[in-house]
Amino acid sequence: MSGFANSMMSRVREMMDRLSSSATSWKDLAAAAEAVLKVDNDYFMAIQIINKAIDMYAASLGLESISMRDPKKFLDAARQQTGDAKVVSELVPLFLTRSEVLSNLGAHKRAKLELDAVISVAPDHERAKELRQETEEVMAMEGKSYSQQEDAKIPATVLTGFLGSGKTTLLNHILRDWKGDKRIAIIENEFGEVGIDDALVTKALKEEETIIEMNNGCICCTVRGDLVEGLKKILKSGRADGRVDHILIETTGLADPAPVAQTFFVDDYIQARIRLDGIVTVVDAKHIIQHLDDEKPEGVENEAIEQLAFSDRILLNKIDLVDAPYLSQVEERIRAINNFAPIVKTTLNVATNLESTINGILGIRAFSLDKVLDMDSEFLKDGQEHQHDESVTSIGIDLVGEVDEGKLNAWLGHILKNKGVDIFRMKGVLAVEGQDSKFVFQGIHMLFSGIPQDEWKPSETRSCKLVFIGRNLDRAEIEGGFRNCLVKRPHVAQ
Ligand SMILES: Nc1nc2c(ncn2[C@@H]2O[C@H](COP(=O)(O)OP(=O)(O)OP(=O)(O)O)[C@@H](O)[C@H]2O)c(=O)[nH]1
């Protein structure tokens, strides 16, 4: 991670560490949150500190489990334990600060819910009533028209979906086939040591597009700081040569979208200029149930479930690979996780209804912090880092040289037959002996396709790049197997 990104992401944590070691009471934290709000207008930092103050207060009463989840229940329980006077003088001010911050971050519904809770225990509290009225006014305005301030920001879409679901296919349609005239900047993140998507993303880009690749870790954890940096770079490039109308962020197939979405609230500069338009999840109809049912070790999230839960629009893709009863079953499973996101059925590789599909995911104003907080009241808490399932790894191969077609086919056939269940995803761009075109292959479990694509240019070195992502992969076996397919002795590229 770059120095800048490091410093950005560690800022909140450093501040929290400093406060934890120097400020030992909830009162100190409450004062610190007020100061951060007044001096810096730093809402994300303020909410971290005020949450900690409320947590500390709740812990002193043994009520930490309900403090965020249900503010009314928490305030009522606190009242029973400490009496009305203390709740009004101590807890209410904490909740007022929190409501103010939530409103400033755009979570008006959640702010109102907390203010309602405050007013239920302190019906005459003037400041609480005032804040609730202000919040209601903003909500009424937002109901009529999208706020001008939000309109002025550049919309960003987080494109998520499990490995191989069709994200890059969709991206290519947007870049190559879509008739819309938006200037789109793209941030691409891959899981795997060797970047392949660069070769798979269409070269027929509209001239103006900016593509930023982030391949040194997963966007939802290690490279979140780089995402902020990438967004800032896009903002600057947009300023230099006109405009950027939309930002599209393709996450890895193993990303948890929650921390990616949180990024839009962490940095003031970003928050003032970019708004999260929506989280779009592409679903592979054939394989999704298998991944939803995948049992994970203790403390490890199931990414396929998270990607659906946080989604604002779902593209139920690859419907050509399943029959109608199975498709209904898939829809039912999706609905059990996310009952509000519209589902659009697609076959992205043949691009039917492309215009309406793309228009239905860009500029939709679908992301709502309120909606997310309803589902996950701790969404704005920093430090909830995503833990990847460590049995799922990636193996990257990057070698100069070319393969023997017969040996390659036999080896790929062997892998598909014997490792198809464990290999979630494989893809590669290969030089095949005697062929002028690059051989591009894609595999998802037992499904495989390979096609010649683009000729090798005289200036290019004929080489092979492959990525395997899956469970319990044996690096020596896969790498050894591939090396046996090579025609010449390879030279390992660094
Ligand atoms: N049968 C079928 N195949 C599809 C469809 N959409 C995409 N594919 C194929 O599925 C494979 C994976 O598609 P990608 O777009 O690379 O998937 P991805 O989500 O970007 O994959 P990762 O980046 O590895 O997570 C490719 O071979 C596509 O051609 C579809 O609707 N039907």
Q: Which domains does the chain have, with CATH numbers?
A: 3-144 (1.25.40), 148-375 (3.40.50.300), 392-492 (3.30.1220.10)
Q: Which residue has the tokens 């490091």?
A: 6
Least confident of 1-10, 261-270, 336-345, 431-440: 1-10
DSSP secondary structure of 247-271: EEEEPPTT--HHHHHHHHHH-HHHH
What's the whole-number mean pLDDT along residues 145-166?
84
Task: Using the predicted structure, report yes or no on whether residue 6 has a pLDDT greater than 70.
Answer: no
Region 360-383: mean pLDDT is 83
251/220 Cα distance (integer angstroms)? 8
DSSP per-residue string spanning 121-179: H-TT-HHHHHHHHHHHHHHHHHHHS--HHHHTSEEEEEEE-STTSSHHHHHHHHHHT--
pLDDT attached to residue 15: 63
Question: Ligand 1 atom 13: the closest Cα is on which residue?
Answer: 166
Q: How far is the CA of 317 from the centre of ligand 1 (A)?
A: 9
| Residue 3: pLDDT over 50 | no
More confident call, 193 vs 408 = 408
pLDDT of residue 200: 64
Q: Look-up: residue for tokens 């939309």?
A: 246
- Ligand 1 nearest-atom number relative to CA 253: 25
Half-sphere exposure of 250 (CA within 13 A, CB side): 30
Q: In this predicted structure, what is the pLDDT of residue 316?
A: 97
Q: How far is the CA of 320 from the centre of ligand 1 (A)?
A: 12
Q: Is 321 in the pocket of ligand 1 (CB under 6 A)?
A: yes
For the stretch 75-113, pLDDT in tens is: 999 999 899 999 999 999 999 999 998 988 888 889 999
**Which atom, in ligand 1's list, is nearest to the CA of 200?**
16
What local confidence, expressed as pLDDT, does residue 4 receive?
36
Euclidean distance between CA atoms 112 and 130, whole angstroms: 11
Ligand 1 proximity of 166 Cβ (cutoff 6 Å): yes
475 membership: H or E segment, kind and range? helix 475-483
Name the residue of 442, 446, 448, 469 to mutate for ligand 1: max ligand atoms within 8 A of Cβ: 442
What is the distance between the alpha carbons of residues 204 and 191, in angstroms, rounded to a whole number?
A: 24
Report d(CA 254, CA 469) in Å as an integer: 10
Note whether 161 and 307 are within 8 A (CB).
yes
The CB of 173 under 6 Å from ligand 1? The reply is no
124 exposure class (CB count in 10 Å sphere: 0-12, 13-18, 19+): exposed
**Backbone phi, then psi, for 178, in 5-degree steps?**
-70, 140
Q: What average pLDDT does this structure show over 385-396? A: 76
pLDDT of residue 67: 65
User: Which burial class, exposed, middle or buried, applies to 429 when counting CB atoms under 10 A from its CB (0-12, 13-18, 19+)?
Assistant: buried
The interface predicted TM-score of the complex, written ipTM, equals 0.99
Is 168 within 8 Å of 250 (Cβ atoms)?
yes
CA atoms of 404 and 19, how far apart (whole Å): 62
Rounded to the nearest angstrom, the distance between the alpha carbon of 167 and the centre of ligand 1 is: 7
304 Rama class: left (phi>0) / alpha (psi -120 to 50) / beta:
alpha
Say which residue, 106 or 317, is predicted with more confidence: 317
pLDDT in tens, 27-41: 888 888 888 887 777
Q: Cα–chain-centroid distance for residue 387?
A: 14
User: How far apart are the C-alpha atoms of 35 and 41, rounded to whole Å?
Assistant: 9
- Dist. CA 114 → ligand 1 center (Å): 43
User: pLDDT class for 14, splitting at 50, 70, 90?
Assistant: low
320 lines ligand 1 (CB under 6 A): yes
Specify the residue with its C-alpha closest to ligand 1, atom 1.
Answer: 318
The response to whether residue 327 sits with its C-beta less than 6 Å from ligand 1 reads no
pLDDT above 80 for 68: no
The residue with tokens 């410093």 is 7
Among protein residues, the one whose CA lies closest to atom 27 of ligand 1 = 442
Residue 12 has pLDDT above 60, yes or no: no
Report the mean per-residue pLDDT for the chain.
83
Q: Is the CB of 231 under 6 A from ligand 1?
A: no
Atom of ligand 1 nearest to the CA of 317: 31
Q: Give the ligand 1 atom nearest the CA of 252.
A: 25
Is 428:466 a contact under the CB 8 Å cutoff?
Answer: yes
